[in-house]
Every structure is written in C-alpha cells, then in structure tokens.
Amino acid sequence: MVFEPSKSELIHFTKAHYTPTREVYLGPTPVKPVDSARFLGVWIDRKLSWKAHLRKTKEKFATQSFALTRLAGSTWGCSLIRAREIYTKVIRSALAYGASSFHIPGTAQAP
C-alpha cells in the first residue's frame, strides 16, 4: 500500500496537557502531529472531547444561517415555508451530521 504524505495526518490520542511532538515518516517525508483531524466529515481532537467538531459545526452554522437570512428577506426573497424547507433540508442535516458518533443515549444533561 502506498500512502500520500501530503494527504496524511497524524494525531496522538492522549489526555496529557502537552501536545505530543513525535512525528512519523512516510518514506522520506515526515508527518507532524496535529491537534485535530477530519475523518469522514467528523472532526476528532486528540483528547476525544469533540470540541473541534463542535467548533467547526458552529462555524458552519453561522455561515449557513447568514445565507438563509439573506435568502429570506422580509420584503423580498423566498417565503417562510421555503425558508423552513431550506433550514430543514440543509442546515439541520448539516448540524446533525456526525452527532451519532459522540452521542451517548440516556445521558442527556439538564439545562
């Protein structure tokens, strides 16, 4: 199997306070460790705390909600029904993607 070093990421899973700096080599090319990596659309950080995924999801939501407000202006743009359809099909599905990987059933926290 041949790996492409430019497309490879190294992440050390640890609860340590410091970031590990040990690198690996793919052929002659070193691959340095990163704090978070994207795997199948889900961001994983080195402490498996899901903070990286939540941060990226918040950024995506801010961009998409801004676009939705521009599409559904009060005096122009799409109707409320169309805006709700866009929210349901695009924004809500993007927010929920990957939630099953870190959700633990029965552990909902009280507000």
Domain boundaries, the chain: 5-102
Tell me which residue has tokens 């009280």: 110
pLDDT per residue over 66-110, tens digit each? 888 888 877 777 888 888 888 888 888 887 887 777 666 776 655
pLDDT of residue 107: 63
pLDDT tens sequence across 29-56: 888 888 888 888 888 888 888 888 888 8
Q: What is the pLDDT of residue 111?
A: 53
| pLDDT score, position 108 | 60
CB 27 within 8 A of CB 17: no
92: phi > 0 → left, psi -120 to 50 → alpha, else beta; which? alpha
> CA nearest 41: which of 99, 108, 103, 109?
99
Helix (H, G, I), strand (E, B) or coil at 79: coil
pTM of the entire predicted model: 0.62
